[in-house]
Amino acid sequence: MINLLRILVVLFLTGYGNTQVAQKNNPAVSETNSKKLFVGEDLTYVVKYAFFNLGEVSFKVLDKTKINNKSVYKTIAYINSYPDLPFVSLHQVYESYIDSSLFPLKFFANIFGDDTVFVEYNFIGSSKVVMRKGKIRGSKLWLDSTAHTRHRMQDGLSILYYARMNFGEQKTVSFPCFVNEKEETTLINYFDVSEPVSIDAVDYEIDCLKLDGKTDFISVYGLTGNFEGWFSNDSFSVPIRAKMNVIIGSVNLELIKWNSKLWNPPSFKN
């Protein structure tokens, strides 16, 4: 399995890049102006390739804390292949510290293996990103540099939360994201028509909104080419299912666990 955090990637950056919006009153779209991050959210997805279940991806909002006296949400993603897979062992952890405008101040990754690799980005306003990359063993540093930027950018985890908080209108967006130590562009199409989506974890159809898009590069998570995602049509906009092209072919992600005290999937009604 090739790492898939950038799934639901589904990104939306108003104000940056070229944006075309077709907005209309659509009763199928849940009305909400109160979308926000919730400490305690815990979402887990199974990663499927053909007839194989490859592993799981979990997303959590752990806490509210401060960086440079600025309040941020600490979000984290765990990516783990199943132990009985004969051809791969993958264990990775990603953290993003997101401010109230849903942009990251800091991104950190650990890619576990014989020599665990770490990646750290510190986002300094709209002007630069301070980068560090190396091996934890022996504190070996490969990269210690600064990238100069013209605007604020998302990282590979914060982008998921930004996308979720901005669902509800039909639009096409191209946006910048800091990936592989440089700025890249992704195209996203948002739709405002409600669709029924089925998953194994519930015995009813879930009310969802769809997005799709395309990347012209291979990200650190293996995403390349076209992707689709379906999100709950409610104030949480939880990713329910995703389909995407990765280096090994086509991969599906499906929601299997969540914090039911905080949220449950909305039922689709004709």
pLDDT in tens, 55-100: 999 999 999 999 999 999 999 999 998 988 777 778 899 999 999 8
Instruction: Please state, in angstroms and as integers, the Cα–Cα distance from residue 212 to each residue in 121, 188, 220, 255, following that order.
Output: 27, 6, 20, 18
Q: What are the CA-CA distances from residue 90 to residues 7, 81, 269 (Å)? A: 16, 5, 39
How confident is the model over 28-56, as pLDDT tens digits?
Answer: 433 334 577 889 999 999 988 888 888 99
Averaged pLDDT for residues 130-134: 93
- CA dihedral over 191, 220, 157, 112, signed as positive or negative: positive
Q: Please report the DSSP string for 148-205 in residue order.
A: E-SS--B-TTHHHHHHHTT-SSEEEEEEEEEETTEEEEEEEEE--S-EEE--TTSSSP
Cβ neighbours around 260 below 10 Å, total: 8
pLDDT at res. 218: 57
Phi, psi of 160 (to 5 degrees): -65, -45
* Nearest residue to 11 (alpha-carbon basis) of 229, 249, 256: 229
Quote the DSSP letter at residue 267: B
Q: Can you point out the beta strands (E) in the chain?
A: 19-22, 42-49, 52-67, 70-81, 91-98, 104-112, 117-124, 128-135, 140-148, 170-179, 182-190, 195-197, 206-215, 223-232, 239-246, 249-257
Instruction: Read off the pTM.
Output: 0.83
pLDDT score, position 173: 80
Summarize pLDDT for 180-216 with one digit per residue, the tens.
Answer: 788 887 788 899 999 999 999 999 999 999 998 877 6
Residue 248 has a pLDDT of 65
Confidence bin at 222 (pLDDT 50/70/90): low
Q: Give the model's confidence band at 221: pLDDT under 50 very low, under 70 low, under 90 confident, else very high.
A: very low
Whole-angstrom distance, CA of residue 135 vs CA of residue 49: 30
Both tokens assigned to 221: 């998570």
233-256, pLDDT tens digit by residue? 998 999 999 988 766 677 899 999
pLDDT higher than 60, residue 4:
no
pLDDT of residue 32: 38
Residue 21 has pLDDT above 90, yes or no: no
Beta partners for residue 112, in sequence order: 91
Measured distance CA(109)–CA(249) in Å, rounded: 25
Range 19-257 classified under CATH 2.40.360: yes
- The Cα 95–Cα 104 span in angstroms is 10
Confidence band, pLDDT 50/70/90 cuts, at residue 140:
confident
Say what the pLDDT of residue 245 is: 75
d(CA 166, CA 126): 21
Integer Cα distance of 159 and 59 in angstroms: 12
pLDDT number for residue 216: 64
Residue 91 and residue 113: Cα distance in Å, rounded?
8
Structural tokens at position 242? 């995703």
CB count, 10 Å around CB of 209?
26
Q: How high does pLDDT run on average in the chain? A: 81
Mean per-residue pLDDT, 128-155: 87
